[in-house]
A and B are shown apart, each in its own frame.
Chain A
Amino acid sequence: MLQDAFRGGKRYWILLGFWVALIVVGLAAYGRQLSEGLYITGMSQDVTWGLYISQFTFLVGVAASAVMVVLPYYLHDYKAFGKMVILGEFLAVAAVLMCGLFIVVDMGQPARVANIILHPSPNSVMFWDMLVLTGYLLLNLVIGAVTFEAERKGAPPHNWVRPLIYLSIPWAVSIHTVTAFLYSGLEARPFWMTAILAPRFLASAFSSGPSLLILMAIIIRRFTRFDAGWEAIQKLATIVVYAMVINLFFVLVELFTGLYSDMPHHLHAFEYLFVGLEGRAALVPWMWVNAALTVCAVVLLLIPGIRRQERFLAPLCVVVILAIWIEKGLAMVVTGFIPAPLGQITEYAPTAPEIAITVGVYALGFFVLTVLYKIVVNVRERLEAT
């Protein structure tokens, strides 16, 4: 099975080369960050988390979304997801890998990362987040590899994986819940301190993750002989649109509480996001783009005639991913720091090396994903041929 990673055409190697080039650029920038310090990023004493932790948050969602194919397939025996499920599990593997890397590149002393395990601190949500993410990575890696290997041999998977599969379902929910708790338990940051944060994270995850999965499935069926199935893609599209509607609802609930109560602490963050605070408005254009994209995606995807056509579905999936990325990968983390506890409004914008490192981590994740998907595609193509 593993040797399939080395069997590919010219396009495969060019794609891998492309990822490697981006990884190399990212590594160079990371080398600079390691030697000079995190001051080369756009972060400051007021905005202490930026692009890295935002990407981490966004990608935990992508990872958690594998449950949207695992659950219908294994719990409800929804056969149409038979070929999709492995794509979901391997996407989760790549996403969790990127999550871990984003945490490490954000650290001031990455060489000491083992301290989290050497000095376990159950009172810290970050400790639990590390545990659930590591567990989720292993679960998906094991389940994905074992079930796929069994399928390759045309035999049913070992019985011992079944409990692991069932375990992976609540576990997927846990990774994003615990990630939300990282933020929502801090009395210092009123913008994050909301009980709806975890449900919101899950809803946005279940729209952005499956959107990415749809795109992957469409790309794979375009360029290879492996087709995950149009029915499966359509079912995912339905999941995407309802998760998006629920997410929009949660956002509006949040806005109501802030705006109607009119409490300054709640208001400031929303003012900063949508109109700007004391003339600082770096995120305002992004947030209005986000609003437009969200409405556009929800309205169009709700129309079955549009959802059912690949030429509309694919771009709309891109729209969903962009909207959720702006929400979680850009605005959500940074806005928690604005205004700072002492009233200062310090804005944040990532620097070039910071962006290079971020792109590098994404490239590494997509390198792994490309290899994993290549194995899946090669094996499937052989199975179809026989």
Chain B
Amino acid sequence: MSEDRRTFLKEVGFAALGLGCGFPLVRAAFAEAQHGTNQDAEPSSQWAMVVDLEKCLNGEVRAACVEACHREHNVPEIPEADDEIAWIWDEEYKHVFPDQVHEHTPAELQEMPVLVLCNHCTNPPCVRVCPTQATWKRESDGLVMMDQHRCIGCRYCMAACPYGSRSFNWRDPRAYVRTDESGQPLSDFPTRTKGVVEKCNFCAERLRDGRQPACVEAANAVPGGEGALTFGSLAEPDSDVVRILGEKHTISRRVNLGTGPNVYYVV
């Protein structure tokens, strides 16, 4: 009798375990059927940026962009290169566009500084691999968003990003965030904790208020930097970005990978 009861209890236990493991799977399958996966969702609109390489040759313009962005988003200033966080920064042309250079490309072009940031890809690999949907492609405007409260810090997105656009908080960033005299961070933008990934958000917080991204505004404010960065919607036929893309020779990073970057460069 007791043996029977034990067996019964065991089986009920296993059944419960089985159901417990199966439930999320079923839920996921339903969610998939209803919404499709993230990367399939066609954004109804897509923000894009055009970077004018020549206008960005001016070091002041680039420095102003980086400063404005990192100040606006409370990006920590960590001196160790291994742990450094960056949302927008300079890289050499040959590393940004490895397929655009050859052995006879002049050294000054190869080493030309180029501003790089998250490409807010049309088909973002980081979104595809995220196991918690902590990073996702926003359907309304195509931004690749990041929820630092959901991120588990597995860094799969960093392995998947072909542009090196993501940074992980290896240490507590709050100790490295610049503050004013009263010890407050310079901006209202939420600071992050250690153990999560972050990246450029195309200034989602400014777009909400109908403002341009901080880097674009900063570049325009530098004499000679007007139009160095142009921001706009690809869905609006008369937007500045659509006009430039139609008129000038532009390239984007590693197009052969099929990620569909939405940051373009005027050569």
Contacts and interface: CB of A to CB of B under 8 A. Distances in A.
Nearest to B17: A138
A37 B175 CA distance: 12
Q: Could you say which interface size class chain A belongs to? A: 35 or more
A110 B150 CA distance: 11
B95 A120 contact: no
Contact of A188 (B37, B95, B159, B194): B159
B82 A346 contact: yes
A270 interface: no
Interface in B121-135: 125, 127-134
A292 interface: no
A187 B162 contact: yes
Interface stretch (A40-48, A245-253, A275-283): A40-48
B125 to A, nearest CB: 6
B132 A106 contact: no
Nearest to B80: A39
Interface string B74-91: 000000111110000001
A112 B150 contact: yes
Interface in B11-56: 11, 14, 17, 21, 24-25, 27-29, 31-32, 37-39
Given A37-B172, A37-B194, A346-B82, A121 B133 contact: yes
Interface stretch (B163-171, B182-190, B204-212, B242-250): B163-171
A182 to B, nearest CB: 8
A336 B92 CA distance: 22
B98 interface: yes
A214 B160 CA distance: 38
Contacts of A135: 21
B195 A124 contact: no
Contacts, number: 164
Nearest to B148: A109
A231 to B, nearest CB: 34
Nearest to A188: B162
A36 interface: yes
Contact of B130 (A44, A117, A124, A346): A124
B195 A109 contact: yes
Contact of B37 (A37, A123, A138): A123
B17 A187 contact: no
Given A124-B156, A142-B14, A108 B162 contact: no
B130 A121 contact: yes
Contact of A186 (B24, B130, B160): B160
A121 B32 CA distance: 9
Contacts of A115: 131-132, 134, 150, 152
B28 A108 contact: no
B95 A343 contact: yes
B195 A39 contact: no
B89 to A, nearest CB: 10
A46 B81 CA distance: 10
B164 to A, nearest CB: 4
B133 A49 contact: no
Contact of B150 (A119, A124, A343): A119
A126 B82 contact: no
A24 interface: no
Contacts of B71: none
A123 B28 CA distance: 10
Given A108-B155, A123-B39, A189-B159, A45 B98 contact: no
B94 interface: yes
A272 B159 CA distance: 18
Contacts of B129: 123-126, 185-186
A342 interface: yes
Contacts of A160: 11
B131 A108 contact: no
Contact of A108 (B32, B152, B257): B152
A122 B28 contact: yes
Contacts of B197: 108
B259 interface: yes
A343 B153 contact: no
Contact of B98 (A39, A125, A336, A343): A343
A267 B169 CA distance: 31
A369 interface: no
Contacts of A134: 21
B168 A45 contact: yes
A107 interface: yes
Nearest to A135: B21
A336 B195 CA distance: 22
A337 B133 CA distance: 23
A296 interface: no
Contacts of B61: none
A337 B127 CA distance: 19
A355 interface: no
A343 B254 CA distance: 13
B172 A126 contact: no
A347 B21 CA distance: 39
18 contacts: A36-B171, A37-B169, A37-B171, A38-B153, A45-B167, A46-B164, A106-B155, A108-B168, A113-B152, A115-B131, A119-B150, A121-B28, A122-B28, A122-B32, A127-B28, A138-B17, A182-B156, A343-B95
Given A36-B171, A43-B170, A126-B129, 7 more contacts: A39-B82, A45-B81, A45-B83, A45-B84, A122-B28, A186-B159, A340-B164
Interface of A: 36-39, 43-46, 48-49, 103, 106-110, 112-113, 115-127, 130-131, 134-135, 138, 142, 160, 182, 185-189, 336-337, 340-344, 346
What 8 pairs between A and B have smallest CB-CB spacing? Answer: A108-B153, A108-B195, A120-B28, A188-B162, A44-B82, A39-B170, A126-B131, A343-B95
